[in-house]
Structure 1
Amino acid sequence: MADRLVYVLNGPNLNRLGKREPGIYGTQTLADIGAMLEARGATLGMTIAMRQSNHEGALVDWLHEAEDKGAHAVLLNAGAYTHTSVALLDAIRAISVPVVEVHLSNPHTREDFRHTSWVGMAARGTIAGFGARSYLLALEAAAEF
């Protein structure tokens, strides 16, 4: 079976993982998470395209690119844009590639403003609250699409 391409898109401040509020986000870096995903993806016949940007427009462009490149799925941790970005909502709705929303922490146990997810309104599903393992669970879910 040919490898299926999975985009893993990460939003603002996720480049600071391992340093940023480890009590909430853990001590693993984004590079650590990428390595875990690549290893698990190899066993699932999936190729990982891992990206991070602090800029909303880059995430929108990469969502479009995922469809243009024939991606199997997108795992999206939009960070704070989850709760503010109608542009990401529209971009997810504009593509046919299934998107899985991913969060390290559980937004519903945090501040009230984090309880609304614009990304979740268009995502196929959401996995949150399991730290770095949230990404692996999302990848395993995407393998079933």
Structure 2
Amino acid sequence: MKIAVIHGPNLNMLGKRDPKHYGSLTLSDIENNLKRDFKEVEFIFFQSNHEGAIIDFIQNLKADALIINPGAYTHTSIAIRDALETIELFKVEVHLSNIYEREDFRKINYVKDVVNQSFYGKKYESYYEACQYIVDKMMNL
């Protein structure tokens, strides 16, 4: 099983960002933890601060499923939403923080209706739960 994991803008700065919201793990830590916790999964990791690069990656994706943390693009990018809507594979949205308990502008979520499930507010555990959800669902297909 191949799962692509997209990390949006500023997630390359994890470990330096507010640990209250994002935890203390770096992006590499999250990726290494996923590889450690899901040895049966082949991961494709991608991070970009550029909306168009994320859209290009989504449009050219060769995987069985997708985990996406769109970062701030969650609240602003109809283009990423539209790209997600066009691909026909299992899609899960992830956020390290609980976007619904933060600033009002973060409560706007353009991707939630084009993914199969969302996990948020549990830092690394959000990624873990998203991956476990995909593995469980794909095993039952």
Distance 1:98 1:92 in 2: 10
Question: How far is the alpha carbon of 1:65 from its aligned partner?
Answer: 2.0
- Tell me the residue number matched to 1:103: 95
Unaligned runs of at least 5 residues, structure 1: none
CA distance in 1, matches of 2:120, 2:110: 15
5 Å matches for 1:10-25?
10-25=7-22
Q: Which residue of 2 aligns with 1:46?
A: 41
Q: Percent identity?
A: 42
Q: What's the TM-score once normalised by structure 1's chain length?
A: 0.91
Moved over 2 A (4+): none
1:122 maps to 114
Partner Cα separation in structure 2 for residue 7 and residue 88 of structure 1: 15
CA distance in 2, matches of 1:85, 1:124: 18
Alignment of 1:1-145 (within 5 A): 4-42=1-39, 45-66=40-61, 69=62, 71-143=63-135, 144-145=137-138
Q: What CA distance in whole angstroms lies between the structure 1 residues aligned with 2:8 and 2:32? A: 18
Segments of 5+ residues of structure 2 without an aligned counterpart are none
Give the root-mean-square deviation of aligned CA atoms.
0.9
1:119: how far off? 1.2
Q: Secondary structure at the match of 2:97?
A: coil
What amino acid sits opposite 1:97 in the alignment? L
How many Å separate the matches in 2 of 1:116 and 1:103? 13
Give the number of equivalent residue pairs: 137
Question: What TM-score do the two structures reach when normalised by structure 2?
Answer: 0.94
Deviations 1:55-98 (A, max 9, x none): 011111111222xx2x1110000000001100011101110012
